[in-house]
Structure 1
Amino acid sequence: MKFGGQSLVLTSMKRGIERHVGKFYTRKIAAKNIKVERRQSSNDGEAIQRFFEQQQQVLLAQTKIIALDGGAVTVPEEELYRMVETFCRHGKGAQCWQSLFKECIEPLTTKCLENIEAISQAGLKSITAAFLDEYDMWRSRILKLQLIYFYLDRSFLLQSGNGGSDILRRCQDLVRDRIYAVISQRVETDFASIFANLVRGASDSALLLQQCENVVRELCGESSEQYQRIIKTVAVQSRLYFKLQAEKWQIMSPVQYLQLVVDTQVTEHRRIQELIKDSSRVEMIMSALPEEMIVPHVQFIRRGVTESFEDELMFPYIRQLSLLSFEGSEQQLRIGDIFRQWIETVLGPTFTNIDIVVQSYHKSSRVTEALADADLINKAPDWVAGFRNSMRGKRNLSEQLAKFSDSLLRKGAKGGDSLKNTADVKTLTFLLSCIPEKDVFEVYYKRYLSKRLLVGRALGLESESELLTILRDEFGPELTESMETMLKDVRTNSPATMAQYRDSEIYTKYGNFDLNVNMLSQNAWPQFPASTSPIRLPSQMYSQLDNFSKFLSQDPKNTKKKVTWQHALSSCTIRAHLNEDTKEFDVSLHQALVMMQFVDEKKRPHMTFADLLAATGISERELTMSLHSLMTPKVKILIKEEGDETRYKFNWNFSSKLRRVKVPSVARGADDIMLPHKAIQDTLERDRNMEIQAVIIRIMKARRTVGHAELVMEVLDKTKSRGILEVADVKKNISKLITDDFISRQGRDVYDYVA
């Protein structure tokens, strides 16, 4: 090709095909290396200049078709790409960019702004929709231009000395300054209106809002003031929506209200998350929900919590509460306080007997598990605190809980399971942990334990031992020490002593009478009431008792010990040869004495109440109970004959499928081994005072001088395992020790130990 007197030799070299960024692929062909063979002509520069001018005209004409008309180029895009590369290789990148910007990009941007204004003013579309449509068209055209000017991007525009931005970024800056800056206020206002309608369900423009948020973030950047105003618009409208909905829902029940709040939290979180991708901004916007829907209505929601405990809505309501996830929810709702108050104010007043307490325990147990699983309460402190406050001062519950454990040990575990795995034992240990007066429980438990061990009501020594082990592990050895001694007396000490007695020379069996003795440690066992009248035992029984007493007196360990026989605790097994069969009857000693009066039927076939009273020496009350127990429908050993005088005779025709018949325990007078309630309370008070005084003496002996407040707090701390004391109890015993000269007062609030 010749221009003027100069020839240009154009040689081409194909390079490998590579992918380009954009909507389609194009072949990257290196620009032709222009080698100028100098001739003798002097117009070389003018020819080259005309060549580039012609190329630029072609290039601009084609790019205008894309940018301004949105049409397709008539020259292959590869040729246009080679033209741009030729410009850049010859140092004309700046000229190429300036012409592109001035002739194509600026007119396109101006045209877009005019279209937006025209569409908006005509009311065909909202300002936001018009802006997004025009921007989408503008962006698609710029991307096509960027593909053609790809070499300009890489070799010139992206160089740090030229700004470091590609064509798209430079063009977006132009849109931001020339278009969005003009219409931003109207777009933001329209955005707020569309979003408000969206959350209220008045429109379905979520996609439009997402596109708007993406475009503003793309044009202005996340840190820009324009984008922050969009985020603020979402936050303000969301807060307003939360507030209005909360006020609207106040007419509903707390349960329905909370369900709507939870549904709103889930729905709005998803909606805002789809609109705004930044999770931190989403959480910032959603923080308005508890501030508008929870905090101002905490009392309303808390009332619903209390109400829900009373009906079938309890568990759904708790599930709704667990779904409320916002910072400070536990501090705001204070579900643990509500739960404790519910136990104290609703359940507590009903705690009149152990059956109601157990029912309340099972009910609150279900609530507790649900609340704890939802992380709404701290299970152990909140639950125990509520029951403890409700049971404080109700000593009768300590007694009833001991009775509950008595029925538990009579019933035992089913299927051979361990007692530890039974629900009743879990109930027992929990309620015992809530009872402040554990010493009261201990007193009554020991009495019921003595009944089970001595009158034959125990389920088994293994079960007794297992329960004591559970109580010791839960509440310490101070609670169970004396009980374990009682069990050891029956389980180990008594059988060993009886084995030695039967191997001794003193042992003699008198007729059909045999003796088995339980050796009880007086310090461990409860105090039993003295017999109201001296009963008359058969001579063979007296002989057996005398022999055993002699055996004990010969043991050096027992020389200083006094033996006291507790006949009310005795039981007997009587073998009776009836008319049709031989039966064995397990009865109490009083019942046995009554039955033995009828051994010689020929001498005394009938006996009156007065005859039995004189023959046995049993008190009237005890004799009446024994007679009734021997004439029950199931065990009719005696027959009552009415006439001028009521008489009793032995039922020699008694029949039963069992070879060994046990008289029902309820009718055997075993309750008589318990002291009267008043006597138990007096004993308990005395023991408690002695324990307090012993603790005070130990503290004073170790410290010598102690302040009043410090002494009181230390005594309360050291005795808390036995039950919660009142400060007045400690003060009373301090005064008692001062009066007895164990300690002295120094000044007003300081005590000295008196050696």
Structure 2
Amino acid sequence: MEIGELGLDIWRIYMIKSLSSELVQHILEGIKLDRCGNPEINANRVKIINGVIHSFVQVQDYKKNGSLKLYQELFESPLLVASGEFYDNEASKLLQTCTVSKYMEEVIKILDDESKRAQKFLHTSSLWKLRKQCEDRFVNQRLDFIYSECKDMVSQEKRKDLRNMYIILKPIPDNLKGQLIQTFLDHIKNDGLETISTLSGENIHIQFVENMLKVHQKYQELIADVFENDSLFLSALDKACASVINRRPSDRQPCRSAEYVAKYCDTLLKKSKTTEAEIDQKLTNNITIFKYIEDKDVYQKFYSRLLAKRLIHEQSQSMDAEEAMINRLKQACGYEFTNKLHRMFTDISLSVDLNNKFNNHLKHENIDLGINLSIKVLQAGAWPLGPTQVVIPFAVPQEFEKSIRMFEAFYHNSFNGRKLTWLHHMCHGELKLGYLKKTYIVTMQTYQMAMLLLFESCDSMTCRDIQSTLQLNSETFQKHLQSLLESKLLNANSESLEGNTKVELNFDYSNKRTKFKITSAMQKETQQEQIEHTISAVDEDRKLYLQAAIVRIMKSRKVLKHNALIQEILSQSRVSFTPSISMIKKCIESLIDKQYIERTPNSGDEYSYVA
């Protein structure tokens, strides 16, 4: 031992050890007086107390290990015990005189004062221990009192009180903060449900998305302002929004959020007076709500159908906006999700080129069709045309025959082996009416146009003649003829559109507009039928998706336990939807029947892949 170290050791033994109890007692009393705000503890006294406390460390500084042992045993342990008792007494006094709001303010002040005091007197190793002691006595042991007004503070959104509560609860373990987080989550959920419970009218989809965005933005701002963007509170916001958005009105009714969000996009992307910058901002905000939707495959089905209508009927505000939206969906859900949407886009751009080539071909061959023609060639697998792929019988009017025949010849010459199916019910055109006092240009569907063209050579016909000439089934015939009667272009001598009912041109027809559209004959399913049809189509898609997933998993694993297979399927399908266990079991049974997989012999809950 060196001479300096020997001197320090003698000081420790004969000075500090022999005077330790009295010395420590005086230091603790000095710290207590400082806590009580006694003016005796001036800067000079603080310097003396600080010097004595630090001498407990300095006297053993020469030791490589355990240099704080003397300080901890002699001074730190008694200090923590004495401080704990002092904090207990102070907390009890505050409880008797303060409201929860005032108590939290006082605790924050005490915690701040104690931190400054610890830095003023103590060795740095004691700072966090004293802070923990203070938090334990004032917060952890008084949680019931602090939480007693938590529900009111959250429901009334008292920001100052909530901020104070967060400050004092922040350092304690997460499980103890659970009550505040759960109360906050329930409040957001109730606010969200209240917001969407009163929705009504035709614009329910706009109200739903914009109201939910207001709720999300409101609480996101509150979390930033009050809870310092704490991940636990952001997670509570996500859970609450997901719960509200995916809530089913009842067990028998499906959740309609996916449909509303898709229709909201449709409203924005259709031609309107809204600026592109506004549309872009709203579509970006819309993705916030989209991310919470669990049944993303339902959204995709609705979105693709609405997109198909916009593209076919040329109703899009901007093709750039359409593409930007698809790219947002791609970022959120991956390429697989938007693959068909991209193919639909490709078809439209290819159709533009194809029309140009066809028109150049006609010019080159010096052929005049007599009508202006624009054709869209769509891939059957990419477009969600649903039951409309079942072709309705129809005798094409002779005015269209030449054009159709010429295009088919041109197309088959360019693309050998492809089959064209004409979807006349999705076509429309402009017809010029020259038999009235004024000339009118009317946009209408193919079947309506075909009916009016029959009156080129006569002024009246019976319903039987019209139907047999065009070879339409009764439902299609009546629907489209009815729309022409409602528009007053034709008159009938009976309300019953059958057999010998006479239909004639209305020569007295007049309209303020010389250019207008007849829309009532568009194939209209009721809203409920549309939803039911989409949901059933989604169910079929899900079964095929799950069966394909099971085969892929079993092909790579060869043998797998039932529960392990269920977990694998759930993790793979989570991106698009969360399948029910009963649906997965049905798909497994179906694949066993089809002999893709089999139950492993002598094991009831294990499957084997059949090569």
For normalisation by structure 2, the TM-score amounts to: 0.73
Q: Which residue of 391, 396, 407 corresponds with 1:548?
A: 407
In 1, Cα distance between equivalents of 2:145 and 2:443: 64
Aligned residue number for residue 237 of structure 1: 86
TM-fit CA distance, 1:274: 5.6
Aligned residue number for residue 526 of structure 1: 384
Instruction: Report if the CA contact (8 A) 1:384-1:434 is conserved.
Output: yes
TM-fit CA distance, 1:443: 1.3
In 2, Cα distance between equivalents of 1:216 and 1:263: 29
Aligned residue number for residue 327 of structure 1: 171
Are the structure 2 counterparts of residues 534 and 263 from structure 1 closer, same or farther at C-alpha, using a change threshold of 3 Å?
Answer: farther
Instruction: Report if the CA contact (8 A) 1:608-1:648 is conserved.
Output: no
Are the structure 2 counterparts of residues 595 and 739 from structure 1 closer, same or farther at C-alpha, using a change threshold of 3 Å?
Answer: same
Specify the code of the residue in structure 1 equivalent to 2:607.
Y
Report which stretch shifted further, 608-617 or 722-731. Answer: 608-617
- Three-state SS of the structure 1 residue aligned to 2:431 is strand
Specify the code of the residue in structure 2 equivalent to 1:572.
G
Aligned residue number for residue 634 of structure 1: none
Instruction: Report if the CA contact (8 A) 2:305-2:384 is conserved.
Output: yes
TM-fit CA distance, 1:524: 0.9
TM-fit CA distance, 1:715: 2.2
Are the structure 2 counterparts of residues 664 and 239 from structure 1 closer, same or farther at C-alpha, using a change threshold of 3 Å?
Answer: farther
TM-fit CA distance, 1:523: 0.7
Deviation by residue 1:680-707 (Cα, 9 ceiling, x = unmatched):
3332222211121112222222333233
Instruction: Report if the CA contact (8 A) 2:104-2:165 is conserved.
Output: no
Aligned residue number for residue 201 of structure 2: none
In 2, Cα distance between equivalents of 1:412 and 1:288: 64
In 2, Cα distance between equivalents of 1:183 and 1:381: 48
Report which stretch shifted further, 707-716 or 530-539. Answer: 530-539
- Three-state SS of the structure 2 residue aligned to 1:723 is coil
After superposition, residues 665-684 of structure 1 pair within 5 angstroms as 669=522, 671-672=524-525, 676-684=530-538
Instruction: Report if the CA contact (8 A) 2:554-2:560 is conserved.
Output: yes
1:359 and 2:202 aligned? no
Specify the code of the residue in structure 2 equivalent to 1:465.
E
In 1, Cα distance between equivalents of 2:43 and 2:23: 19
Q: Which residue of 709, 733, 738 corresponds with 2:563?
A: 709
Aligned residue number for residue 748 of structure 1: 604
Specify the code of the residue in structure 2 equivalent to 1:370.
L
Are the structure 2 counterparts of residues 565 and 317 from structure 1 closer, same or farther at C-alpha, using a change threshold of 3 Å?
Answer: farther
Are the structure 2 counterparts of residues 571 and 209 from structure 1 closer, same or farther at C-alpha, using a change threshold of 3 Å?
Answer: farther
Q: Which residue of 265, 275, 281 corresponds with 2:108?
A: 265
In 2, Cα distance between equivalents of 1:299 and 1:412: 56
Equivalent pairs: percent with the same residue? 16
Deviation by residue 1:682-740 (Cα, 9 ceiling, x = unmatched):
32222211121112222222333233222222222222222122232222111111111
Q: Which residue of 690, 694, 697 corresponds with 2:548?
A: 694
Deviation by residue 1:126-145 (Cα, 9 ceiling, x = unmatched):
xxxxxxxxxxxxxxxxxxxx
Instruction: Report if the CA contact (8 A) 1:501-1:551 is conserved.
Output: yes
TM-fit CA distance, 1:475: 0.8
Aligned residue number for residue 428 of structure 2: 571
1:371 and 2:223 aligned? yes
Instruction: Report if the CA contact (8 A) 1:412-1:463 is conserved.
Output: no
Aligned residue number for residue 207 of structure 1: 39
Are the structure 2 counterparts of residues 303 and 510 from structure 1 closer, same or farther at C-alpha, using a change threshold of 3 Å?
Answer: farther
Instruction: Report if the CA contact (8 A) 2:479-2:521 is conserved.
Output: no
Are the structure 2 counterparts of residues 181 and 480 from structure 1 closer, same or farther at C-alpha, using a change threshold of 3 Å?
Answer: closer
Instruction: Report if the CA contact (8 A) 2:87-2:137 is conserved.
Output: no
Aligned residue number for residue 456 of structure 1: 314
Q: Which has the larger radius of gyration?
A: 1
After superposition, residues 162-561 of structure 1 pair within 5 angstroms as 198=36, 205-210=37-42, 214=46, 217=49, 221=53, 223=56, 233=82, 235-246=84-95, 248-249=97-98, 252=99, 257-258=100-101, 260-266=103-109, 269-270=112-113, 273=116, 277-278=120-121, 284-288=129-133, 290-296=135-141, 298=143, 307-308=152-153, 310-311=155-156, 313=157, 315-324=159-168, 326-328=170-172, 330-334=174-178, 336-344=181-189, 347=192, 354=205, 355-356=207-208, 358-372=210-224, 374-378=228-232, 381-390=235-244, 391=246, 394-410=254-270, 415-417=275-277, 421-422=280-281, 424-492=282-350, 494-504=351-361, 508-511=367-370, 513-530=371-388, 534=393, 538-559=397-418, 561=419
Specify the code of the residue in structure 1 equivalent to 2:353.
A
Specify the code of the residue in structure 2 equivalent to 1:754.
V
Specify the code of the residue in structure 2 equivalent to 1:406.
D
In 1, Cα distance between equivalents of 2:462 and 2:4: 127
TM-fit CA distance, 1:485: 0.9
Deviation by residue 1:316-357 (Cα, 9 ceiling, x = unmatched):
455334543752264431355444444456535876675345
For normalisation by structure 1, the TM-score amounts to: 0.61
In 2, Cα distance between equivalents of 1:367 and 1:248: 33
After superposition, residues 601-680 of structure 1 pair within 5 angstroms as 604=459, 618-625=476-483, 630=487, 649=506, 653-656=510-513, 661=515, 663=517, 669=522, 671-672=524-525, 676-680=530-534
- Three-state SS of the structure 1 residue aligned to 2:264 is helix
Unaligned runs of 5+ in 2: 57-70, 198-203, 249-253, 497-502
Are the structure 2 counterparts of residues 188 and 270 from structure 1 closer, same or farther at C-alpha, using a change threshold of 3 Å?
Answer: closer
Specify the code of the residue in structure 2 equivalent to 1:726.
S
RMSD of aligned alpha carbons? 4.8
Instruction: Report if the CA contact (8 A) 1:475-1:721 is conserved.
Output: yes
- Three-state SS of the structure 2 residue aligned to 1:744 is strand
Instruction: Report if the CA contact (8 A) 1:388-1:435 is conserved.
Output: yes
TM-fit CA distance, 1:292: 4.1
- Three-state SS of the structure 2 residue aligned to 1:332 is helix
TM-fit CA distance, 1:488: 1.3
Deviation by residue 1:39-89 (Cα, 9 ceiling, x = unmatched):
xxxxxxxxxxxxxxxxxxxxxxxxxxxxxxxxxxxxxxxxxxxxxxxxxxx
In 1, Cα distance between equivalents of 2:572 and 2:376: 35
- Three-state SS of the structure 1 residue aligned to 2:374 is coil
Deviation by residue 1:301-328 (Cα, 9 ceiling, x = unmatched):
56766555554x3544553345437522
Instruction: Report if the CA contact (8 A) 1:700-1:753 is conserved.
Output: yes
In 2, Cα distance between equivalents of 1:276 and 1:337: 36
In 2, Cα distance between equivalents of 1:336 and 1:607: 74
Are the structure 2 counterparts of residues 181 and 428 from structure 1 closer, same or farther at C-alpha, using a change threshold of 3 Å?
Answer: closer
Instruction: Report if the CA contact (8 A) 2:220-2:234 is conserved.
Output: no
In 2, Cα distance between equivalents of 1:644 and 1:476: 54
In 1, Cα distance between equivalents of 2:273 and 2:151: 35
In 1, Cα distance between equivalents of 2:590 and 2:508: 62
In 1, Cα distance between equivalents of 2:462 and 2:423: 27
TM-fit CA distance, 1:525: 0.9
Are the structure 2 counterparts of residues 188 and 259 from structure 1 closer, same or farther at C-alpha, using a change threshold of 3 Å?
Answer: closer
Instruction: Report if the CA contact (8 A) 1:452-1:458 is conserved.
Output: yes
Deviation by residue 1:647-680 (Cα, 9 ceiling, x = unmatched):
9846765345xx8x56487x56365599743333
After superposition, residues 42-61 of structure 1 pair within 5 angstroms as none
Higher relative CO (Cα under 8 Å, sequence separation at least 6) belongs to 2
Instruction: Report if the CA contact (8 A) 1:595-1:650 is conserved.
Output: no
Are the structure 2 counterparts of residues 365 and 754 from structure 1 closer, same or farther at C-alpha, using a change threshold of 3 Å?
Answer: same
Instruction: Report if the CA contact (8 A) 2:443-2:516 is conserved.
Output: yes
Specify the code of the residue in structure 2 equivalent to 1:542.
E
Deviation by residue 1:404-428 (Cα, 9 ceiling, x = unmatched):
2211212679544285x51x32343
Instruction: Report if the CA contact (8 A) 2:430-2:443 is conserved.
Output: yes
In 2, Cα distance between equivalents of 1:328 and 1:276: 22
In 1, Cα distance between equivalents of 2:274 and 2:217: 22
TM-fit CA distance, 1:367: 1.2
